Amino acid sequence: MLPLDTKPISTLADYVVIKALADGVMISGMTRGKETKFHHSERIDAGEVVIAQFTDNTSAMKVRGKAKILTKYGIVYSGMPEKE
């Protein structure tokens, strides 16, 4: 049993914000279940923003291209070399 002030953490309904930093950024949603499959993809251009949500059907997202990804855990950049 959980203490009264503790709530279980769920990734369902978590949102991520993806902002394209260049043209042609691809965002793909992947399914949950026995087999992981791509179920949706979007192409966005520089300056465009997608707000995506993890759901019962979406367990992962793949971002290809230069983008800024904002989550409750912090900011991640895709398609760019890591700064040491």
pLDDT tens-digit map of 23-67: 999 999 888 777 778 888 999 999 999 999 888 878 889 999 999
Q: Report CA dihedral (32, 58, 28, 65) to the nearest 10 degrees.
A: -110
* Paired tokens of 83: 């700064």
Contacts of 66 (CB under 8 A, 6+ apart): 20, 21, 22, 25, 77, 78, 79, 80
CA angle 46, 51, 55 (to 5 degrees): 140
Confidence of residue 18 (pLDDT cuts 50, 70, 90): very high
Contact (Cβ atoms closer than 8 angstroms) between residue 55 and residue 29: no
What's the pLDDT at 16?
93
pLDDT at 38 (0 to 100): 80
Reply yes or no on whether the pLDDT at 6 is more than 90.
no
Give pLDDT tens digits for 58-83. Answer: 888 999 999 999 999 999 999 987 76
